[in-house]
Amino acid sequence: MHTLSIKEMSEGLRAKKFSSRELTAHYLARIERHDGALNSYITVTAERALKHAEAADARLERGDAHTLTGIPLAQKDIFCTLGVKTSCASKMLDSFIAPYDATIVQKLHHDAGMVMLGKCNMDEFAMGSSNETSFYGPVKNPWDTTRVPGGSSGGSVAAVAAGLAPAATASDTGGSIRQPAALCGLTGIKPTYGRVSRYGMIAFASSLDQAGVVARSAEDAAHVLQAMSGFDPLDSTSIERPVDDLVAGLGASIKGLKIGLPKEYFAEGLAASSREKIDAAIKTLQSLGAEIVEISLPNSPLSVPTYYVVAPAEASSNLARFDGVRYGHRAEGVKTLEELYKRSRGEGFGAEVQRRIMVGTYVLSHGYYDAYYLQAQKVRKLIYEDFKRAFERVDLVLGPTATDVAFGLGSKTDDPVAMYLNDIYTIAANLAGIPAMSLNCGFVEGLPVGLQLMGNYFSEARLLNVAHQFQQATDFHKQMPKAYV
């Protein structure tokens, strides 16, 4: 059953070929059998999942079910789930039981009737590109368990790639959906900033964070993203705008579509073997009728330094609430308030989180705000202007998602700058707030290569349609790691 698409699962449930309880039990059995080698889940909610599956079966029997009712889903452990541990993969929140549901949890599980299998591992507070900063240990890549799955949504992508969930939620602050989706051969989409509610998503960098989804195909991703999108009055950054029918638009022809290739994305730094697969994908899109146009995004090389000023600054502010007083880890045996703050934060936060808090505090401090933070915001505007000009000429932008295939566990943990450069192609979309996605476009020595598509604001339907048409012409998205077939 784990090889079925979400559409096939939905049809099977309605035709009574299997029940939601049977489908859920199948995935829970796979998690128990395989996840010890991957570490993709932090919490598995087996008893709760089976109970909710039975409720979904009853809803299906009554005939008032959503397309997604009864289909299992994994949640990234950054989204609050009522009565279930929500840790952000940090010791700081190891004992935190969420007292409410995030809006996307409400939409997916209560409104649509999907069944939550559990909470997925991630980089601590979503800070990382390899899923090695988690308090619960690194996640392994299902294609090669000696390699990283990417981050920060490494648990979500590893679970879906190995068939331990049909789809999973994820979050993207600088590429944390798309980069791991590329390294694990999945389809991952970050929608337009404000398209999906951030209420109940534990904040890293509030002007950059956006919730999204990872799945095996664009069609599967469209079903889930459709259900989780929409205006939320509980989120001040949520945009009040109707949601396009993402599924209905998948069958449209892409003949005449103009696709821009930024020359900056195909310069030095991109592995030659990955470039070959991307070039082949471009030819496939041309055969489907797309027109290729060379463009320039001149400020894109400044994305990484800009991001690593803006994001840590916002993180230092957001994470100030974790002080050992109200909730989260609290140091024992302290004698003063100052000691409580220092020890609780020193014990609760890992090295990477502490590093980013310190950088963020520095760039916001008196005498450095104008020199660093203000300048970064000016460059961010220039990056946005680059995309604005590009979308006057083309319908979408195409490029690599990552510089190379998945790298070895531990190979970059001692070099933060090398780790940060893994997001060189993905960060610009977050800084500009535009939608972007990654899909599998081939393999190099058995490891997936990611192709990135970026569109203008609220063009999720177009991105998913182009990805779907590409996937109809190829079979990369259907391939699974041999150990998990």
Q: Which residues are catalytic?
A: 76, 152, 176
Token look-up 């349609």 returns: 465
CA geometry: angle 194, 196, 199, nearest 5 deg: 90
- DSSP state, residue 144: B
- Contact (CB, 8 A) for 151 and 128: yes
Q: Residues 244, 114, 430, 275: what is their CA dihedral angle, to the nearest 10 degrees? A: -90
CB 447 within 8 A of CB 405: yes
- 3-class DSSP state for residue 279? helix
Distances (CA, A) of 238 to 35, 199, 409: 35, 9, 37
Nearest-10 Cα torsion for 441, 444, 445, 446? -20
Half-sphere exposure of 150 (CA within 13 A, CB side): 41
Q: Report which DSSP code applies to 406.
A: P
Cα distance between residue 203 and residue 217, in whole Å: 28
Q: Are 116 and 109 in contact (CB under 8 A)?
A: yes
**Cβ-based neighbours of 330, under 8 Å, separated by 6 or more:** 324, 340, 344
The residue behind tokens 């934060």 is 345
Q: What six digits make up the tokens of 1? A: 């059953």
Q: Give me the phi and psi of 388, to 5 degrees please.
A: -60, -45
Classify strands 41-44 and 115-120 as parallel, antiparallel or unpaired: antiparallel
- Count other C-beta atoms under 10 Å from residue 476's C-beta: 18
Which secondary-structure segment (H or E) carries 165? none
- Report the distance separating Cα 135 and Cα 94, nearest Å: 9
Q: Contact at 8 Å (CB) between 230 and 202?
A: no
